[in-house]
Amino acid sequence: MIALNVSQLVFTPSNFDQDYYPGRRKRGKDYREDMLELPFFYPGQICYGKVISIHLHQGAFVDIGGTHDGWVPIKGNDWYWIRHHIKPGMNVYVEILAKRDPYRFRFPLEMRLVYPNIDHLIFNRFDFPPIFHRKEDTNEEQLWREGGRLPIPRKKPSTDMETEPLVSDHPFVETLWEWHNAEQMILDHEDENPDKFKDVTYESTVDTSSFDEENRIQYTEGRVKETVLKKKVVNVNIKELDMKAARAEREEIKRLKAEAQERGEEYKIGKMRRNIEMDEYDLLQWRRSYEEREALLRDICW
C-alpha cells in the first residue's frame, strides 16, 4: 500500500499543470492550430462560445475559439440571481468589453453576456481587473498605472506651486548669447580694420581644424586696477556662426542710422536677430514650464 501511494505521488503531479488557472493561454493538449490569437479580437465584437467553468469569486469563463478564454466578471451574491441562467457547458453569446496585456492582467479578454441577457442582474462589479504581482514590481505608482488603477493621492507640496515663478531661461539661450557676442566682435574687428578685410572675410583667415570642442571654455583670472576677478574665456567655432546674416543686419543698421542722421534724428537700435531668437526660446521654455506646473497641480490630490 505504501509503495502504491509513493508511485502515485511521483506519477500524479506530472499529469497536472501546476500553473493552470482559468483564462490563461492554452498550451499542450489544450492548444489547437485553428485557435485565434488575441490580435483577432477587439472590443465590441460579438462572439459565440461555450461556458467552460464558473468561479464564485471570479466569474464565468467562456471558450470563444481563441487561445485565451473570455472572462465574464461575476462575484458575490450575484450568483443567486443568475444561478439558473448560466451553467457550465451551455452555449452563449458574449460581447468583448476590453482587451488587455496578457503579461500583466490575469484575464486578457473581459466580456459580458448578450444571450442569455443577464447583464442587468449583475450588481457587484469588479473595481479593477485582476493583475499579476511580480517581485520586480517595486514602483507602486507604475504598477497601479499599468493595472489601470487610479493615481495614488500625493501630499500637498511644501511650496505653493501657484506662486512659484515660471522658468523662462532656455538652456540654448546662453549658447545663442555667446554666438551673438562673437558675431558682433568679429564685425567690430572688421570695421576697425577695413584695409585688412577689404577683399577677404574674417572667417576665411581662421583655421578651424585646430578648434578644441572639449576645452572651449577656460576659467582664468583678470585684474581690474588692484582687484583680481574671475574671468571666463569662451572659444566659439566660426562654423557655428551665421556671419552672412550678421553682416546683412549690420549693413541694414548702418543704412537706417544714416537715414536718421539725414533727418536730424537719433537712431536707436532695437532688438537684433539673435535677441529675437533668444526671446522665442524663452517663450518656448515658459510655455513648457507653465504646462508642467498645470499638470502637477491637476495631478495632486489632497
Per-residue pLDDT of the chain (302 residues; tens, 9 = 90+): 445 444 444 444 445 555 667 778 888 888 888 888 888 999 999 999 999 988 888 889 999 989 999 999 988 888 888 888 888 999 999 999 999 888 888 889 999 999 888 888 888 788 888 888 888 888 877 888 888 777 777 676 676 666 666 666 788 888 888 899 999 999 999 889 888 888 888 888 888 777 888 888 888 888 888 888 888 888 888 888 998 999 999 999 999 999 999 998 888 888 899 989 988 888 888 888 888 878 877 776 54
Would you kindly state where each structural domain of the chain is located, as residue ranges? 17-146, 179-270
Grid coordinates of 229? 576677478
Options 2.40.50.140, 2.60.120.20, 3.10.20.30, 3.40.50.800; CATH of 17-146: 2.40.50.140
Residue 288 vs residues 11, 142, 174, 276: alpha-carbon distances, Å? 65, 24, 18, 19
Q: Which residues of 170-205 are buried (b: 16+ CB within 10 A; e: fewer)?
A: beebeebebbbebbeebbeebeeeeeebeeeebeee
CA dihedral (117, 122, 128, 134) in degrees, to 10, reads -90
- Say if strands 227-234 and 46-55 run parallel, antiparallel, or are unpaired: unpaired
What is the end-to-end Cα distance of the chain in Å, rounded? 67
Per-residue pLDDT at 1: 44
Dist CA 220 CA 230 (whole Å): 6
Q: Are 256 and 268 in contact (CB under 8 A)?
A: no
Contact 110, 96 (CB under 8 A): yes
pTM: 0.46
Q: What is the C-alpha separation between 46 and 43, in angstroms, rounded?
A: 9
Could you read off the pLDDT of 206-249 as tens digits, one per residue?
A: 887 778 888 888 888 888 888 888 888 888 888 889 989 999 99
Q: Tell me the three state secondary structure of residue 185.
A: helix
Distances (CA, A) of 58 to 74, 77, 114: 6, 12, 19
